[in-house]
Chain A
Amino acid sequence: MELEELQQVWAELSQEVEQQKKLNHKIIMEMTQQKYQQKFDKISRYETAGSVVCILAAVFVLFNFEKLDSLFYQLCGIVAIAFLVLLPIAVLRALKKIRSIDLINTTYKETMIAYNKAKDRLLLLQRIGLFSSFIFFFITLALSGKIFNDKDIFQETGIWFPVTVVLVGLGLFSWWGYRKYLSITGSAKNLIEELEP
């Protein structure tokens, strides 16, 4: 279909649509009362719930910090607390940034650029979280062995099979996730580059 034909079909459509006015006062005002933000709030709720779990875990490590009796375990504890507190806060901030983009007083181009930049930031954070989860996995293992059983878990002979299985699973998940992130951020970047003068 060439443009001229598209225009012709569009004109016929417009004529048809004009003849079929459906909205009345009540329906229109009901629409303005709907809380459209609710849908996006759902994602934020999941992220907030996840963050609360992370903060609780950080508090747990903090309260058991005295059980970490060597410099190695104390360092693991500090890294874990930092990971559990800082990353969720950064993700929530990035989400807030996306939500607060002004749709009313900006142009289509500005909205696109703002969204894509905010989304890039959010995806970068998620990517950092994904890859650091490998390190965090070993830190959690070391800390839980120490806190719950006062043992060096890496000295236990039976743990390496389940650890390997979890690592392979984590690796596959990360590879899949990373490919997804690459394709999403890639298209966002292309769009921004096309829009820049």
Chain B
Amino acid sequence: MTKEEAFVAIIQDHEGVIYKITTVYTNSVSEQQDLYQDIVYQLWKAYDSFRGESKVSTWMYRVALNTAFSRLRKENRRPRPVALDHVNIWPAETYDKEFELRLRAMYEQIHQLNDLDKGLILLLLEGKKYEEIAEITGLSRSNVGTRISRIKERLRKKMTKKT
């Protein structure tokens, strides 16, 4: 297998992960496509230096989150209303209105978090353990735990307010 084929296989295996990261960190379809492309570009640049010391997914999350964050900072984006037009991925034949509403509600909650917390909740939702989240983000395990507890508390409060 050539280097190019191996890289393509990794991206194909994890394209869902990249999709989810780009949805969390962008506000429109065009921004999402740009970020998707940036992430693949950065992964390709980083591919030679990936020595397999960590899991492929850990390496991918790290590069993808860094790229998302760097893009956010470069564009100096300020909070603005979130269109969330880019969250609907279903072809017409399998379209599920009820699920789309739940999905939008979920993204609305995530978009209200700050840049760092968005990354943490994303990794948590991906099923990562605190140790791996710490490895990806560079935070200590206890810091990860504290921040996630705060996020949970925030979500709970929002829920209480709504009811």
Interface size on B, residues (CB 8 A): 61
| CB atoms of A21 and B12 under 8 A apart | yes
Bound: A103/B159 CA distance, A: 36
Bound: A165/B104 CA distance, A: 50
Residue of B74, B89, B140, B151 touching A20 (CB-CB under 8 A): B89
* A-B Cβ contacts below 8 A, count: 140
Chain B positions 94 through 123: 1 when the CB is less than 8 Å from some CB of chain A, otherwise 0: 000001001101100110001110010100
Residues on B with C-beta less than 8 A from A1 are 105-106, 109, 155, 158-159
Given contacts A14-B16, A18-B16, A98-B74, contact A115 B103 (CB under 8 A): no
Given contacts A16-B90, A31-B37, A197-B140, contact A3 B66 (CB under 8 A): no
B1 within 8 A of A: no
Bound: A1/B121 CA distance, A: 13
Residues on A with C-beta less than 8 A from B116 are 108, 112, 191, 194-195
Which stretch, A22-30, A74-82, A146-154, A171-179, touches the partner chain B? A22-30
Residues on A with C-beta less than 8 A from B40 are 28, 31-32
Chain B positions 121 through 155: 1 when the CB is less than 8 Å from some CB of chain A, otherwise 0: 10011100000000011111001000000011001
| CB atoms of A2 and B138 under 8 A apart | no
Q: List 19 A-B contacts (CB under 8 A).
A: A1-B158, A1-B159, A2-B155, A6-B125, A7-B125, A10-B126, A12-B99, A13-B103, A13-B106, A14-B16, A16-B89, A31-B41, A36-B38, A36-B42, A103-B67, A108-B138, A109-B139, A184-B76, A197-B143
Task: Show the binding face of A for B, using Cβ within 8 Å.
Answer: 1-3, 5-7, 9-10, 12-14, 16-18, 20-23, 25, 28-29, 31-32, 34, 36, 39-40, 43, 98, 101, 103-112, 115-116, 119, 184, 191, 194-195, 197
Known A28-B8, A104-B66; 14 more pairs at CB < 8 Å: A2-B159, A9-B105, A14-B126, A16-B89, A17-B15, A25-B8, A29-B4, A43-B74, A104-B49, A108-B69, A110-B138, A112-B115, A115-B69, A195-B116
